[in-house]
Amino acid sequence: MTKYLIVSLHDYHPGTHAAVREQVATLTAWGVRNFSILAVPHFHHQQSLRASPPSLAWLGERQAAGDDLVIHGYYHDLVGQGGGAFFWNKLYTAGEAEFHDLSAGEARHRLTRALTLWEEHGWRATGFIAPAWLLPEAQDELLRRLNFTYTTRLQYFLQLRTRRVTPTQSLCYSTRAAWRRAVSLRWNRWLFARLRQTRAVIRLSLHPRDLHFAPLKAQIRGLVETALTEGYQPVTYAAYANL
């Protein structure tokens, strides 16, 4: 049975350009060659991809190199939407559960705007992943109508056209506070050991600051190198969706 490692780089926008480029270089040195890059069209209503030629050019280069350019929300925040559910927007995220309570009409509007940006630059829009993976299942049909091939949630990958579900919980880190980083290290150590025993797909989801903390960087390198040594093949989400 072939085993797969999917590395996704979250929250790419002009303000994280340098950090994500550094992640690509570092992970490439560790043996991963292609990535799913989760790009936010207009991050927090301030950082616009369309207004950043260097960001647009780099994303084009990465797609040409084999990367998967994923639409990752539109604004990634709740400006203009009210406070939202307290747990999801105050504890689970820092006000970034953009699609969790979004109406179907507004969700379609934002997705269509993102797709227009992708089309303008000749990028393949294969996948959509909501900020913090918080997308109501009722929106899956909207993604199908807009011709997305896949989406993911924290605990599974969904091939939208075939409705194939691959259970596999994503490894991810919370860096907002020291205690969150400590808990993340313990949790991901345990989760990685479990996934190696039970799953043919391991998902490693990184955010721009993750490699800036030495203990996290050391663990992430260990996870990647162990997975590769054990025969996990690095692929993007788009490539996995087409298997």
Domain of 64, CATH number, reads 3.20.20.370
Q: Are strands 42-43 and 164-167 parallel, antiparallel or unpaired?
A: unpaired
Structure tokens that stand for 139 in this block: 């929106």
The pLDDT score that the predictor gives to residue 96 is 76
CA-based nearest residue to 36, from 238, 233, 172: 238
Q: Do 142 and 111 contact (CB within 8 A), yes or no?
A: yes
Domain range for 232 is 3-241
Per-residue pLDDT in tens (0 to 9) along the chain, 243 residues: 899 999 999 999 999 999 999 999 999 999 999 999 999 999 999 999 999 999 999 999 999 999 999 999 999 987 666 555 555 555 566 667 799 888 899 999 999 999 999 999 999 999 999 999 999 999 999 999 999 999 999 999 999 999 999 999 999 999 989 999 999 999 999 999 999 999 999 999 999 999 999 999 999 999 999 999 999 999 999 999 999
Count other Cβ atoms within 10 Å, centred on residue 13: 23
Structure tokens that stand for 233 in this block: 């093949």
Sign of CA dihedral 215, 218, 219, 220: positive
The pLDDT score that the predictor gives to residue 94 is 62
3-state helix, strand, coil split of the chain in percent (to 5) is 45, 20, 35
Q: How far apart are CA 58 and CA 63, in angstroms?
A: 9
Number of domains within the chain: 1
Q: How far apart are CA 24 and CA 98, in angstroms?
A: 26
Could you give the residue ranges of the DSSP H alpha helices within 51-139? 53-64, 86, 104-120
Spatial neighbors of 169 by CB under 8 A, at least 6 apart, are 154, 155, 191, 195, 203
Q: Return the DSSP state at 46.
A: T
Which strand (E) or helix (H) includes residue 123? none
The pLDDT score that the predictor gives to residue 13 is 98
